[in-house]
Amino acid sequence: MAFKKLLSPIDIGTLHLKNRIVMPAMGTGYAAEDGSATERLIDYFVARAAGGAALLIVEATAVHPRGRIFKGECGMFDDRHIPGFQRLTRAVHDSDGKIVMQIAHGGRQTKSALIGDQPLAPSPIPAPALCTETPRAMTIDEIQVVVRSFGEAARRVKEAGFDAVEIHGAHGYLINQFLSQNANHRTDSYGGSLKNRARLAIETVSEVKKSVGSEIPVFFRLNGEDYIKGGCTLNEAVEITPWLIQAGADVVHVSAGVYGSDPPTIPLIGSECGCFAPLSRAVKEVATVPVIASGRIKSPLLAEKILEQGTADLISMGRALMADPDLVIKIRAQKLEEIRPCVGCGQACIERLLGGIKKVENDPISCVGNPVMGRERAWALHPASQRKRLLVIGGGPGGIQAAIAAAQRGHEVALCERNKELGGNLRLAAMIPGREEFSEYLDYLFGEINRLGVEVSLNREVNPEYLQETNPDAVILATGAPFQRMKIPGTDPERIFTAADIFTGKSDLSDHTVVLGANQIGLETALLLSNQGKDVTVVEEGDHFAPDMGPIGRFDLLNSLKKWKVEVFKQARLISADNSKAEIMVSEREHHIKGDFSIVSVEQVSNNRLSKEIESTGIPCHVIGDALRPRKALEAIEEGYGAAMKI
C-alpha cells in the first residue's frame, strides 16, 4: 500500500510538514525537577524525529508553578527554561523534525503535595478520579493571572525555537474544567452558559495568539467528549470550535475523556482502535482549519483510512511512536511486519507516571515492548567487539528479547524452549478476554528472531550434558517462574489447579471456582473463568486488589470483574472447599458459599536451578525475568535486553 494520504505533506501557516503523522503530547517524567529540559528528554524526541514523524508535541508543560500536574513535568513558567528547550528544538530540527510545545495548567487535576498549595479550579469540586482533593474556586484575578501565564509561556515557546504552540484544553485540566458543567458551577461571567464557560479558553487563545503573532501556529487540544456526567459534550465541542478559530486557533486537535471517564482519556488494550475519530469528523465539519484525529490509532492502515474518509487532516499516533520510533521509516519502506506494535497495556507508559499503591508516584515512563525508550543514548545497540556463541534458555518475552538484541549485535544465538511453543506467560495473557492484542507483539517477536537468524529449538530441555555438547560462550537463563499447585488442608488435591492449567485447558473445573490471590494474574484468571461461565470468587489475604497494577489498569480490570459479577474478598483466606461449599475467613469472620468448588492458585516460584550448574562450568550466566523473581513482562524484556548488551 502506498499510503498516499498519510505520507503526503501539508502546510499550516508558516509550518511545513513532510507527512501527516503527529506524535501528540504524552507525559514522560523526563524533565528536571524544576521543569527544565534534560538530555534524556532531548534524546527521546530526537529518536522520533529521526524515525520520520513529521511533528512532535512536547508533553503538557506547566505555565505556572501552581499548574504543575506531575513530577518531572516540563515547565515554561520562567525564562530560565528557555535555554534547555532551545537545545531540544535545535536537536529535533537537526534530525529533520518539527516540534510543538503543549502548554497547560492542571487545575484540580494535581496534588497539593506537588504544588505546595490547594489546587485551583473553577469551583470547589474534586476531580472524578486520581486527584480527588477538594480544590479552591478561583477568583477573577487568579483567572486573569492564568491567562497571562499562558501568554508568557507562549512567548518563551517561540523564543525557544518551537515550530508551534499547543494549548491544552482537554483531558480534565483547567481549561477543560471551565468548559465542563461537571467542574464549573460558577455564576459569574466564567460560568453558566456555554459561551461563559468557554470564556477562559477563548481568552487564552487570544492571549497566546497575541504573544506569538503569525510567526508560529497555535494549536488547541479540545475534548470532543468528556464522557462523564455533566461533562463537555460533542455538540458543545462543535459549537465551541468556531469560537476558538475566530480567537486565533490554527489547528484543532481532537481528543476525549478525563481522569475517571469511561471510556478513559487514554484508551488501552481492549478499546477500539480509532475510537475518538468520529469526534474529529464532527469537529472537522465546522472547522476551517486543519483537524488532528487521535484515539489508539496505531496502524498505518487505519490512519490512511481516516484521512481518506476526510475525518481529519493529520493523525496522532502517540503510543505507536513510543513503541517504535522508526514507525514512519518502516511505513515508507513498506516493512509493516517489522513495526514493533503497541498493545495498549499501559504498564510502563501510563502506570509508571501515575504510580501504583506500592510505588513512588510519577516514575519516568518506559515501554513494555521497547526497553530502549527513555534510554536512547545509554541503551543504543552497538556491534559486539567479539562475536560469541550465546545460548538463551527460555522462550518467553524476556528470552526472545535477549536473543533479538544479541543477534542484532552480531552474536550467534541459539534459543531453547522446553515447551512446544514460544511466548511463555505472554501467550497465556493473550487468552484473557480483551487482552488478545498481546498476540500481535508475540508475532512481532517471532518475526524478528526469524529475520535475524536465531536458531530456535522447541521441546528442548537443557541439561548439563547439552551445555557440554554445545559449549556456549555465555548463557542467558530465562526459565521463568512456574505456577505452583498449593496444598490446602482438608481439600482434595484433585480440586486444586494452577493458573497455567486454566489457560492451557488442562483442567476440569467445577462450576464454582475460588481463585487464591488478587494480584493481576489472579484477577485476570478470574475474568477468563467468568467468561467461560464459571461462578468465580477471588480470595486475597492482603489489603489491596491488584497492588502490582497502576490505577488505570486496576480500575479497568476491577470494572470488568464487576460486570461479570465476580466476588472479590480482601483480608480473606480460604479454609477449605469440597463438593458442597467453600469456607472463607473474611476479616476474621467465617463466610460460607454453597456449591461444588474447584481451587485455582496463582502462586509462582522462580525456576533458576540451572544457574549454579552453568556457573560451575565456568560459562558466564545471566539470570533474567521471572527466573530471577516473579514479576511482569516489562522487567523480563528490560532485563533480557540489558543482558544482551553486556555480552
Q: How many CB atoms lie within 10 A of CB 490?
A: 9
Contact by Cβ (8 Å): 297, 280:
no
Instruction: Give the residue carrying C-alpha cell 554445545.
Output: 470
With H, G, I as helix, E, B as strand and everything else as coil, classify residue 194: helix
Record the cell numbers describing residue 379, joined without a space: 541503551
C-alpha torsion 233→238→241→242, nearest 10 = -140
Quickly list DSSP for 4-38. Answer: TTTTS-EEETTEEESSSEEE-------S-TTS---
Quickly list DSSP for 80-148. Answer: GGHHHHHHHHHHHHHTT-EEEEEEE--TTSS-HHHHSS--EESSS---SSS--SPPEEPPHHHHHHHHH
Query: Nearest Cα to 343, choosing from 439, 421, 448, 449?
Result: 439
Contact by Cβ (8 Å): 560, 572:
no
Contact by Cβ (8 Å): 522, 604:
no
The rounded Cα 54 to chain-centroid distance in angstroms is 22
The angle formed by the CA atoms of residues 87, 91 and 97, to the nearest 5 degrees, is 130
Known catalytic residue: 173?
A: yes
Record the cell numbers describing residue 561, joined without a space: 470483574
Query: How far is Cα 177 from Cα 108, in angstroms, rounded to an integer?
Result: 8
With H, G, I as helix, E, B as strand and everything else as coil, classify residue 196: helix
Side-by-side strand order, sheet with 389-393? 455-457, 412-416, 389-393, 474-477, 621-623
**Dmax (CA) of the chain:** 82
Query: How far is Cα 336 from Cα 2, in angstroms, rounded to an integer?
Result: 12
Record the cell numbers describing residue 371, joined without a space: 526497553
Catalytic residue selected from 30, 44, 173, 641: 173
Terminal-residue alpha carbon distance, the chain: 39
Q: Which residues of 405-415 are buried (b: 16+ CB within 10 A; e: fewer)?
A: bbbbbebbbbb
Query: How far is Cα 321 from Cα 341, in angstroms, rounded to an integer?
Result: 9
Query: How far is Cα 27 from Cα 367, in angstroms, rounded to an integer?
Result: 13
**Helices and strands (DSSP H and E) totals, the chain:** 22, 25
With H, G, I as helix, E, B as strand and everything else as coil, classify residue 192: coil
Kindly state the DSSP code that residue 433 receives in the 8-state scheme: T
Which of the residues are catalytic?
Answer: 173
